[in-house]
Structure 1
Amino acid sequence: MGIRISGMASGMDTEKIIKDLMKTQREPINRLQRNKYTIEWKRDAYREMNTLLADLQNSLKTLRMSSTFSKKVASSENDSVVSATVKGKPELPSYTVQVTKLAEAGTPPVVSELSLSDVQGITLKLHTDKQEDGSYAKTTEVVISATDSAEQIVSKINSSDTGIKASFFNDKLVLTAANEKDFKVETPNKAVASQSSPAKAAEFTINGVPYEAKSNTFTFDGIEFNLKQVTSTPVVIRTKTDDEAIFNTVKDFVDKYNAIIETINKKISEPKYKSYKPLLDEEKEALPEKTAEKMDAMAKSGILLRDPILTSGLTEMRRALSTSLQVTGVNTAFDTLSEIGIGGPPSGKFAYQENGKLYINEDKLREAIRNNGDDVLKLFTNYSSSNDPATKYKESGVAERLYSELNKIMDKVTKEAGSSGSVYDDSSLAKKLKQTDEDIQRWEDRLKIIEDRYWKQFTAMEKAMSKAQSQGSWFAQMLGQQ
């Protein structure tokens, strides 16, 4: 950058004049910058739609699994004796349980016969590691002074590294073996051996076969049993398909599907306001914040209007849900969602106004789950191993089919807009952004040259005027001397 002379001779505000001239020259960059904002908005809008589609696909994972439609619930004919909860996959429809004996927890070795006065001012001997012959292999001495408080005595014993823990309760020193091994406490006046009781196992029969368990709560064949009382009368535990859980899983999916396609439909039908353009930074700064936000919102509106990827994607999603399951062994009375109570708008509504929204006939759906559970399972989860795309499509359950279609839609969106979590972005919009940035940089370089040229021209003019003024002053002085 050369020397810049600003209005010294002419009196003009050269800097402002050049700045104004450059505003016109910057218009191509402004157009590129607005275009960049538009591309970024479209990319972000696409990614937002992909997040919704991924959320919908994630909700399909449970509907694709046969275990979702095989959930069981257990009920006891006498909960006060034995209760049961399904934790896995029970194989039998019922279990007859008779409780002979309840489990009892054992107590660890404990000594609780010593008072505070028994242990003050003595050396306490703790005998541990009891041998088979009744002797103890290790003796640890704990010196307790006559002035030690209960807290100090407890601290000395607990830090003795014997595995024996102490506490005071009702003025008695209570010693417990943390390792649950017998021990003995010896004072100058007495020796006290620890007392313990072994745990007792629960004894019971299931379907006539005797069993034992360490706890009154145990799992058998995918069912968690909780024994509560001994009884001479057997209690029957029955299992059945958890119809309500299946119904709720299906309903939750339909609700999510409706919410997501409503959001996408709104996005692709947003009005476009062509008179509103993205605001440049300097334009935002010149406006009140709320006004700038409103104008940007108007400029963003319709960014995905009638978008072909999303529009065709919604069509394919509706087709995936409405096409009948066509495979050997399928019950043709339950080969479509509409036949189990999931379909389009009820009579009186116009389907085109609903944009693919699903409605549930709850009574019909519950009845299908209750009476034709295997058919409902197949309708949602059937998997086709065919390599022919057309055959695979027809033979796939609706959940499997929709899951696959969502993959295709999301792949198209990702190819167009990339993924926010991806390190390398080779999407179409990423390439456009890169090209736009390069174009902006080229224009910036060009404008720098133009601005330098303006300054050179004005500087040359100032120098010429300054020289002319100097010569005029010299002539005036010469004439004055004559």
Structure 2
Amino acid sequence: MAGLSISGIASGFDTDAMVKAIMDQERLPLSKLASQKTTLQARSDAWRELNSRIYKLKDAAYNLQSFMTFRAQKVSVSDEDKLTATASAEALLSSYQLNIKSLAQAHSVASKLIDETTTLSGGTIQLTINGESKEIELNPEGDTNEEKLNSIARQINDAQAGVTASVIKLANNQFKLYLTSKETGEANALELADVGSNRALRDLGILDEGGELAYQVRAATDAEIELNGDASATARRASNQITDLIPGVTLTLKEEGTVTLGVELDQDKIVQAVKGFVDAYNSVMDYINQHKTFSYNEVTKSGNKGALFGDSSLMHIESQIRNALYQTVEGVDPSAGLLSLIGIKGASGIEGAKSGRLEFDEELFKTKLDSNFDDIAKLFGATSDETKGIFTRLHDDLFEWTSTDGVLKLKTNTIEREITSIDEQLSAMEDRLAKREEYYYAKFMAMEKALATIQSQATWLTAQIGALSTTWKR
């Protein structure tokens, strides 16, 4: 409306400035409401971020009360060029000497040298692997023997019979066809035959005229492993990846030779899990401290409140998390009965105590793991019995708080409803203020019009009086 007005033509008043001054006063409630929305939005954002950090703390607590964390194993191998290995939680703590006497190999056969003088006939062949037979129709296609040989390889591969066919070019117009079993082991040896009177495999030179393999590139063999120097304890497997020789251990054989393999607890995984928890815990405490405080600036004589200052729910959450770490667990040796006794303790100093942060003494923790492993596992809750350890209890609380109907979600939902209500009020107030502004401009325009009329009449009267005065003088 202000952009369409002509300010003070008759009155000389700055109409825009006067309307603005009036509207500034009328907008005060709207500004106050907008300020409330800003405060609520800051609280909502703070609760959302806190929820995210507590969710990460929940996951970190879960890792510490997990049986799998305390039963994680690691494997050491004396020569990883010969063998690599991994271990699961089911592996027994022990050491082994493994003599890899032979590796499992895939059976491979080859054709004779093929050139342009070689006759390549088609026909049906039979391929048998591990007792399963499949007939494949070979139809050499192309103008040259190279093209025909490639078409034969393609037809064999398309049959998906458990064998890979490939063509190698040895020299100009000299080729060989190789057939290799996809699986290693003696049981997966290739058995080949021409069906009926067909000569496809004999023309290729894979079979001799008697129907036997003419050229074997590599025999099908099993892996053979001798354990702990005991010749009577020799195992044979069809694959070089072995999962059932040592319970919980997966072996990958790479070369023949003797290696030593050891399975031990992976304490580093436990240490890393503790570090992850301490970091997540400190992240939560830092965020709470940042948003719960009130600071006063002596220079500006003004105060600054955190977004969650004075929130009772926040105080309850902080108290619950802190107190959870000072609990005890029945049946744990007193020397390892508190987190502070095993290297997980409150930050030192007055400021450290006020912050609620944790410090982690890694060396002390490792020492306690060596001497009190089972006690620490029980203290954390990482046992197979029904005892609830410190981190089991904490995880349960955090899980409840971060659930869809937990306190953190309820807090953000409540604030969001308040923000929605304020948005509706702001929209209604904006509409009302726009109408008020139009009203004031209309009033000022009416005043200007009235003043213009009065001024016009005054001008006319002045002219009339002037004319009468002239007449009287005559």
Q: TM-score, normalised by structure 1?
A: 0.72
- Hey, what does 2:224 align to over in structure 1? 203
1:316 maps to 2:320 = yes
| Alpha-carbon shift at residue 438 of structure 1 (Å) | 2.9
| 1:67 alignment partner in structure 2 | 68
Shift of 1:301: 6.0
**Structure 1 residue 57 displacement after superposition:** 1.4
1:253 and 2:257 correspond: no
Matched residues, number: 425
Deviates more, 1:6-15 or 1:178-187: 178-187
Structure 2: distance between partners of 1:43 and 1:175: 71
Distance 1:351 1:453, change over 3 A: closer
Task: Tell me if 1:224 matches 2:250.
Answer: yes
Counterpart in 2 of 1:400?
A: 392
For 2:151 and 2:276, the matched residues in 1 are separated by 61
Deviation at 1:68, TM superposition (A): 0.9
Shift of 1:41: 1.2
Seen in structure 2, the aligned counterparts of structure 1 residues 167 and 465 have a Cα distance that, compared at 3 Å, is farther
Query: For 1:114, what is the secondary structure of its paired residue?
Result: coil
1:456 to 2:460 alignment: no
For the residue of structure 1 that corresponds to 2:325, the secondary structure is: helix
The separation in 1 between residues aligned to 2:385 and 2:269, in whole angstroms, is 29
Using the TM superposition, give the Cα deviation of residue 90 of structure 1 relative to its aligned residue in structure 2, in angstroms. 1.3
Amino acid at match of 2:32: R
Q: How does 1:105-120 map to 2 (within 5 A)?
A: 105-107=106-108, 109-111=109-111, 113-115=113-115, 117-118=116-117
Alpha carbons of structure 1 residues 41 and 477: separation in structure 2 relative to 1, 3 Å: same
Q: Measure, in 1, the Cα distance between the counterparts of 2:347 and 2:298.
A: 35
Structure 1 residue 255 displacement after superposition: 3.5
Asked if structure 2 preserves the Cα contact closer than 8 Å seen for 1:142 and 1:160, the reply is no
Q: Would the aligned equivalents of 1:157 and 1:166 in 2 still touch at CA under 8 Å?
A: no
Indicate which of 406, 425, 443 corresponds to 2:429.
443
Q: Give me the whole-angstrom Cα distance separating, in 2, the residues matched to 1:168 and 1:256.
A: 61
Q: Which amino acid aligns with 1:211?
A: A
Change (3 A) 1:229 1:454: closer
On the 8 A contact 1:166/1:173 being kept in 2, the answer is yes
**Residues in 1 aligned to 2:12 and 2:454: alpha-carbon distance in whole angstroms:** 14
Structure 2 CA distance for aligned equivalents of residues 131 and 158 of structure 1: 14
Kindly provide the amino acid, as one letter, of the partner of residue 222 in structure 1.
G
SS state at 2:239 partner: coil
CA deviation profile, 1:26-61 (whole Å, cap 9, x unmatched):
121111112211111121122112211111111122
Task: Note if contact 1:269-1:305 (Cα within 8 Å) is conserved in structure 2.
Answer: yes
- 1:124 touches 1:141 (CA, 8 Å); kept in 2? yes
Mapped partners of 2:293, 2:337: distance in 1: 33
Q: Which runs of 5+ in 2 are unaligned?
A: 159-164, 183-189, 208-214
Corresponding residue SS for 1:433: helix
Unaligned runs of 5+ in 1: 277-297, 387-394, 419-425
Match of 2:338 among 336, 339, 346: 336
Q: Specify which of 266, 274, 295 is matched with residue 242 of structure 1.
A: 266
- Structure 1 pair 471–100 and aligned structure 2 pair: CA distance change class (3 A): same
- Cα distance, 1:69 vs structure 2: 0.8
TM-score, normalising length: structure 2? 0.73
Given residue 399 of structure 1, which amino acid in structure 2 is its aligned partner?
Answer: F
CA RMSD after TM alignment: 4.2
1:142 equivalent to 2:137? Answer no
Task: Decide whether aligned partners of structure 1 residues 340 and 353 sit closer, same or farther in structure 2, where only a CA change above 3 A counts.
Answer: closer
| Distance in 2 of aligned mates of 1:158 and 1:227 | 30
Cα separation, 1, equivalents of 2:401 and 2:157? 67
Does the C-alpha gap of structure 1 residues 240 and 5 become closer, same or farther in structure 2, counting only changes over 3 Å? Answer: closer
- Report the secondary structure of 1:436's partner residue: helix
How far, CA to CA, are the matches of 2:303 and 2:102 in structure 1?
77
Structure 2: distance between partners of 1:466 and 1:51: 67
Which of 390, 409, 412 is 2:407 aligned to? 412
